[in-house]
Amino acid sequence: MEPNKETAEQALLEAEKSNPGPWADHSRYVAQACRNIAQHCAHLSAERAYVLGLLHDIGRYAGVSSEKHLIDGYRFCVERGWEKAAQICISHAFMIQDINTSIAVLDVSEADYLFMKDFVANAVYDDYDRLVQLCDALALPTGFCILEKRFVDVTIRYGMHKATVDRWKKTLEIKADFERETGCSIYSLLPGVEKNSFL
């Protein structure tokens, strides 16, 4: 079971104190995007979506790192019995279920690398995994933005990787799937997206 909204917000606040950075506000916008989209999907819980969005980068509590934040977040959540949140701490970075599609540095031990490789290949994703993958690409630390703006922001920071275009395509597919479900443009569910996209 995941924590409730208050516990998740508190966990994020403490994690932010331990490693302050724009990642915390990014996480808050991801959570709001997850909630707003889930509200328009009959089979999803808006509060659960919000909590899972809020916790997806919680591994950053451990300090500045690259993909290590995925496993740090996984362990943080497993220790608290938050199993789905733990899965999403890893799955949000792998819309394609192959460790080789990582765009960041795998700054983890050999054992952790092997664990993650296996975990990513074998995890069974549901719409909460896909929703966080999508919303991660809709939120800058300053608010919501169009996917294409976030794609460029991430690519400037991480560099071009051989999987970059396939990751973009997969994220656009997930957007189309959610738009079929919500029956509207997801951007109509993200207040301030126009203004923030042009900032």
Query: Could you give the CA distance from residue 64 to residue 114 in angstroms, rounded to a whole number?
Result: 22
Q: Name the residue nearer to Fe ion (CB basis): 141 or 192.
A: 141
What's the closest the beta carbon of residue 31 comes to Fe ion, in angstroms?
10
Query: Could you give the CA distance from residue 108 to residue 168 in angstroms, rounded to a whole number?
Result: 25
- 129 interacts with Fe ion by CB under 5 A: no
**Looking only at residues 97 through 116 of this chain, which bind Fe ion when binding is defined by CB under 5 A?**
none
Q: Name the residue nearer to Fe ion (CB basis): 55 or 108.
A: 55
Q: Name the residue nearer to Fe ion (CB basis): 3 or 59.
A: 59
Stretch that binds Fe ion, among 94-102, 110-118, 132-140, 168-176 (CB under 5 A): 132-140
Q: Which residue is nearest to Fe ion (CB)?
A: 136
- 2 interacts with Fe ion by CB under 5 A: no
Stretch that binds Fe ion, among 55-63, 77-85, 103-111, 141-149 (CB under 5 A): 55-63
What's the closest the beta carbon of residue 139 comes to Fe ion, in angstroms?
7
DSSP H stretches of helix in 39-163? 46-55, 68-79, 83-91, 110-122, 127-136, 147-158
Q: Name the residue nearer to Fe ion (CB basis): 110 or 128.
A: 128
Query: Could you give the CA distance from residue 180 to residue 199 in angstroms, rounded to a whole number?
Result: 29
What's the closest the beta carbon of residue 25 comes to Fe ion, in angstroms?
11
Instruction: Kindly give, in sequence order, each residue whose CB lies less than 8 Å from that of residue 65, ignoring residues fewer than 6 positions away.
Output: 59, 72, 107
Stretch that binds Fe ion, among 31-39, 49-57, 97-105, 187-195 (CB under 5 A): 49-57
Per the DSSP assignment, residues forming a β-bridge with 139 are 144
What's the closest the beta carbon of residue 135 comes to Fe ion, in angstroms?
8
Coil vs helix vs strand at 39:
coil
CB 68 within 8 A of CB 108: yes
Q: Which residue has the tokens 């995994």?
A: 129
- 136 interacts with Fe ion by CB under 5 A: yes
b or e along 94-130 (b: 16 or more beta carbons within 10 Å of the residue's beta carbon)? bbbeebebbbbebebeeebeeebeebbeeeeeebbbb
- 57 interacts with Fe ion by CB under 5 A: yes
Q: Name the residue nearer to Fe ion (CB basis): 129 or 136.
A: 136
Chain residues in the site for Fe ion (CB under 5 A): 57, 136
